[in-house]
Amino acid sequence: MPNSSLRTLLCAFSCLLAIGAAQAQSSSATSPIADAISAAERGQPVDAARFANDPLYGWLEYAALRRDIDTLPSDQAQSFLSRYKGQAVAEAFRSIWLAALARRKDWPAFRTAWSPAIKDTALRCAELDARQATGGADAQWTKDAQDLWRSSGKSLPDGCDAPFAVLAGKGGLPPELRWERIEKAAAEWQPAVMRAAARGLPADQFAQANDYASFFDAVNDRALSWPKTPRSRLVASHGLAKLAKSTPVAAENALPRFASALGFTEEDRGRVLYQIALWTAASYEPESARRLAAVPASAYDERLREWQAREALSRSDWRAALAAIKAMGETQRGESRWTYFAARLSELTGDKAGAQALYRAAARESDFHGFLAADRLDEPYALCPWIANDDAAAKAPVARDPALVRAIALQRIDRVGWAQREWNDAVSRFDDRQRRLAIEVAQDNGWFDRGVFGLETAKYPEEKRLYKLRFPLHHGDTIRREAAKHRLDPAWIAAEIRAESIFNPRARSSANAMGLMQVLPSTGAAVARRNGIPYAGAASLYDSDTNIAIGSAYLRQMEDKYGQTYYAIAAYNAGPTPVARWQSQRPAMDPDFWIETISYKETRDYVARVLAFSVIYDWRLNGDALPVSQRLRGQSGGARKKFACPLAAAPKG
């Protein structure tokens, strides 16, 4: 039962709960606990006793306490932290309580509530304040403050100014430490941080540091007279690199003068030439090949190697593109993407035997380029599903874990951030088998993105083969109905939903795209009107059936407009204007090359991802698949592809 002080905050009389529920504007499906939390956040009385046994009662308390955090008595806050010790809700509360204590400058209470596990920079600076104010500014304090000072070249929170001022007063920010931060800020192209870090330097060094910072605001000839030191070269080269990102030609023209005046090393020149080449190639400008060739080999990284290959592809210079791939490091060159393109380019330059070997290597991967390679070989697609040998009895104790129960309940009422906290708390105590079972439990309860964000495929590559977790299926009847209505492959619709929202009907992007297929309200209204779909405003997009109906109709519209599915997928992600530009730049290019030379990384990867997802959903729906080389062109005839596992054995569950 809630204690009396909390009852004062949460409860006046229970009938007001109904009023609060009526006024709630939660984006989730309503439930008594969801309405109670929303009411508490608005400061309305809630019948707390009604929810005393609810798994989310702690979060209801949290909502009420957070509302009045700046006037909350310390004993009440400490009681909450004590009662929920070890739970995610306590750590969520701890952060906001510490921030409130810092605003109050109640440093003894701050130190009582502090946890070393906190990583938030603003709170770490407040903790330095707390130690200093309570007599704890010892040698360890100085070291901790110096570590925070040098931790980044980017701007730190305003709350860090006070402890840094104390640090400076104690002699803890000698010139060498200030210069360390200035150089890091230069590497981050942060002139304001450079100026701030320079305060406290001797007058002549202060003036030099500010002149360095001014070079990032506008490249100027004063730098020609800077001392010929490694620091001057570092700053000047980063300043020119910043200029290169926006105006490559200006940076290229300026580089020889500054390089000669300051004695640039190859590393300094490479830093500038890298940015000149990168931003020229990313726009496929005429000078791209020349500028890429000017970059020293020592300055190349994986990103620039990729652009070197794409730039050559954009000109249909097969030999140059193949040479760029061969210049990649072994790991990058071994990715299915570049193995496939090495095969294509080897074939185009006359090395058919070499191409076949490369196709076979790429075709072992269950992704877009692996599927393309299998089509070239006329072989089955590689797919090695891993079905874990776990039964309901093994899943039951995981499903009963209190943190997991709370996580799923919070997800159900659309408290996504809170749900994530509880999920992280739960899986931190699970072994790998239990973690995978937790993902199954989450998906059983409609929380489908755990099959993407809950698996650790980088650490455990075999988890990529948990296809039924990674590629959930939901709303199947609606998908099939709308696919039939609009003459679309249902696997494509499912793939779009998986790529856009991972089957979260409440998903909402920063651009205000909404629902399963991430439809913008303006697009939703236009498509609904054109197709006679009932539409009652933007909120309609949170209805799964409506969203799939509108999204599918829009896919049909894109398919009709562009005539090629890969263009339609690109337009669905990037919009018509960029796609029109890419079409005009490379009008007759083969689809695989066209996709790879899309300028936007997000769209380039999106098209490949949706096409690969379509193959996998085809497998899930039908057991075989339309060949991806036909799918991307919108073709549906011909023989379908089988699947086979090239691995000798699958791991056991």
| pLDDT tens digits along 279-310 | 999 999 999 999 999 999 999 999 999 999 99
Helix, coil or strand: residue 501: coil
pLDDT attached to residue 6: 39
* Cα distances (angstroms) measured from residue 105 to each of 126, 157, 512: 9, 17, 39
- For residue 29, what pLDDT band results from cuts at 50, 70 and 90? low
644 — phi, psi (to 5°)? -145, 150
The yes-or-no verdict on residue 311 having pLDDT over 70 is yes
What confidence score (pLDDT) does residue 13 get? Answer: 27
Query: Are residues 495 and 517 in contact, defined by beta-carbon separation less than 8 angstroms?
Result: no
pLDDT at 390: 67
What confidence score (pLDDT) does residue 252 get? Answer: 98
What pLDDT score does 442 carry?
97
> Is 476-644 a domain of CATH 1.10.530.10?
yes
Q: Where are the alpha helices (DSSP H) in 363-401?
A: 368-377, 392-399
Please give the average per-residue pLDDT across 188-192, as a whole number: 98
Give the list of residues 6+ apart from residue 142 with CB closer than 8 angstroms, or none: 167, 170, 172
Which residue type occupies 120?
D
Quick one: pLDDT at residue 281? 97
CA 634 to centroid of chain Cα atoms? 30
Give the tokens for residue 344.
Answer: 């294509």
Per-residue DSSP letter, 114: -
By annotation, the residues acting in catalysis are 500
11 — pLDDT class (breaks 50, 70, 90): very low
313 DSSP 8-state letter: H
Closest CA to 288 of 257, 268, 313: 313
CA distances from 516 to 41, 543, 602 (A): 28, 9, 19
Check: CATH 2.60.120.10 for 4-147? Answer: no
- pLDDT for 487: 96
The pLDDT assigned to 142 comes to 98
Residue type, 259: A
Q: Is the pLDDT of residue 495 over 70?
A: yes
Per-residue confidence (pLDDT) for residue 647, from 0 to 100: 75
Neighbours of 548 (CB within 10 A): 25
Q: Would the pLDDT of 524 be above 50?
A: yes
Amino acid 393: pLDDT = 87
Residue 589 clears pLDDT 80, i.e. is over it:
yes
C-alpha angle 406/408/409, rounded to 5°? 60
Q: Please check the confidence at residue 238 and state whether its pLDDT lies above 80.
A: yes
C-alpha–C-alpha distance, residues 221 and 260, integer Å: 13
pLDDT tens, residue by residue, 104-130: 999 999 999 999 999 999 999 999 999
Q: How far is CA 493 from CA 308, 349, 479, 609, 627, in A?
A: 34, 38, 7, 13, 16
Average pLDDT over residues 233-262: 98
Tell me what percent of the residues of the chain surpass a pLDDT of 70: 94
The arithmetic mean of pLDDT across residues 196-217, rounded, is 98
Mean pLDDT for all residues in the chain: 93
What are the tens digits of pLDDT across the range 351-395? 999 999 999 999 999 999 999 999 999 999 999 999 876 678 889
CA 123/CA 105 separation, integer angstroms: 12
At 323 the pLDDT is: 98
Domain-wise residue ranges, the chain: 4-147, 392-465, 476-644
Phi and psi dihedrals of 618, rounded to 5?
-60, -45
**Residue 389 pLDDT:** 67
Q: What is the pLDDT of residues 597-613, one digit of tens each?
A: 999 999 999 999 999 99
Q: Residue 469 above 90 pLDDT?
A: yes
| Residue (of 370, 576, 593, 569) closest to 489 by Cα position | 569
pLDDT band at 191 (very low <50, low <70, confident <90, very high): very high
pTM of the model: 0.91
- Mean pLDDT (whole number) for 159-188: 97
For residue 284, what are the CA distances in angstroms to 126, 289, 566? 48, 9, 21
Out of 36-45, 85-94, 381-390, 589-598, least confident range: 381-390
Reply yes or no on whether the pLDDT at 570 is more than 90.
Answer: yes
